[in-house]
Amino acid sequence: MSHKILSTSPTFGYYAAEPLDYLKAHGCSIDLIPQGKKMSPEELAKTLGEYDGAVVGVEKITASVIEGSKKLKVLAKHGAGVDNIDMKAASSRGIVVTSAPGTNSDAVADLTIGLFLALARKIPFADRSVRAGEWPRFAGVQIFRKVLGIIGLGEIGKRVAKRALGFDMKVIAYDLFKDEAFARQWGITYLPLDEVLSAADFISIHIPSMPSTLKMIGARELKLMKPEAFLVNISRGDVLDEEALCRGLQEGTIRGAGLDVFSSEPPKGSPLLALDNVVLTPHMGAYTYEALRETGMICVRGIVDVLEGRKPQFVVNPEVLETMELKGKE
**Which residue from 206, 243, 198, 256 is spatially nearest to 224, judged by alpha carbons?**
198
Give the span between the Cα atoms of 53 and 127, in whole angstroms: 44
Query: Are 298 and 55 within 8 A, CB to CB?
Result: no
- Backbone φ and ψ of 275, nearest 5°: -95, 140
Query: Are 304 and 106 within 8 A, CB to CB?
Result: no
Q: What is the DSSP letter of 61?
A: B
Query: Are 306 and 53 within 8 A, CB to CB?
Result: yes
Give the span between the Cα atoms of 206 and 161, in whole angstroms: 12
Strand partners of residue 147: 170
Residue 145 C-beta-side C-alpha neighbours within 13 Å: 0
Give the span between the Cα atoms of 5 and 196, in whole angstroms: 45
Known catalytic residues are 236, 265, 283
User: Kind of pairing, strands 74-77 and 96-98?
Assistant: parallel
Helix axes 105-121, 289-307, angle to 10 degrees: 150
CB atoms within 10 A of CB 200: 27
